[in-house]
Amino acid sequence: MSEATGASVDADAPHVLAARLRLSMVRLSRQLRRMDPSELTITQFSALATVVRNGPLGVGHLAEIEGLPSPAATRLADKLELAGLVARRMNPADRRGVQLFATPEGTELLERRARIGNAWLAGHVSALCRTDRLALERAVTLLESFATERSGETPQVTGDHHEPKEKPT
């Protein structure tokens, strides 16, 4: 029964599962940020991770990967540069353009956050039984597809997919 309406709600309904997923992700993100707080916003942290993983790259490419308008990506790059986490240099292939690259400080910040967060998560994952680990692996694959889709695209998910068996009536 829904507390708000008193009506019966299907616990498997997509909107119910989506609400639980969103809230869980918000809480998990908050837990991870508490372990190693930095002055970076989530958007700045994501952009720094993109530059570390994909750099050097132009601001336009950063905007595309992060799903931001070019002016917002430029402001983001400015803030990361001011913090000493990225730097700009001339693009050797196109002298009119500049590329962003991570500084040693930016790379170290990202690596430290990853070590701390991954260790915390690994502790929880190691406590799971094999069946739950496999379910989590499948869920992570799905979440990765959600995280990389662009507006208007249908998520592309790879790997084995098993529909739940119908319950006998």
Please, what are the domains in the chain? Answer: 39-148 (1.10.10.10)
Residue 169's pLDDT band (boundaries 50, 70, 90)?
A: very low
In whole angstroms, what is the distance from residue 72 CA to residue 61 CA? 12
Q: What DSSP line would sit under 117-156, residue for residue?
A: HHHHHHHHHHTS-HHHHHHHHHHHHHHHHHHH--TTPPPP
Burial (Cβ within 10 Å: 0-12, 13-18, ≥19) of residue 48: buried
pTM, to two decimals: 0.69
H helices present in 70-103, as ranges: 70-82
- Distances from the Cα of 166 to the Cα of 10, 17, 65, 120, 163, angstroms: 15, 18, 40, 36, 9
What residues contact 98, with CB distance under 8 A and at least 6 apart? Answer: 58, 59, 88, 89, 90, 91
What are 46-74's pLDDT values in tens digits?
Answer: 999 999 999 899 999 999 999 999 999 99
In whole angstroms, what is the distance from residue 126 CA to residue 143 CA? 20
Q: Who wins on pLDDT, 41 or 148? A: 41
Q: What is the largest CA-CA distance in the chain?
A: 69
The torsion angles phi and psi of 95, rounded to 5 degrees, stand at: -65, -10
User: For 93, which DSSP code?
Assistant: T
What are 93-127's pLDDT values in tens digits?
Answer: 877 788 999 999 999 999 998 899 999 999 999 99
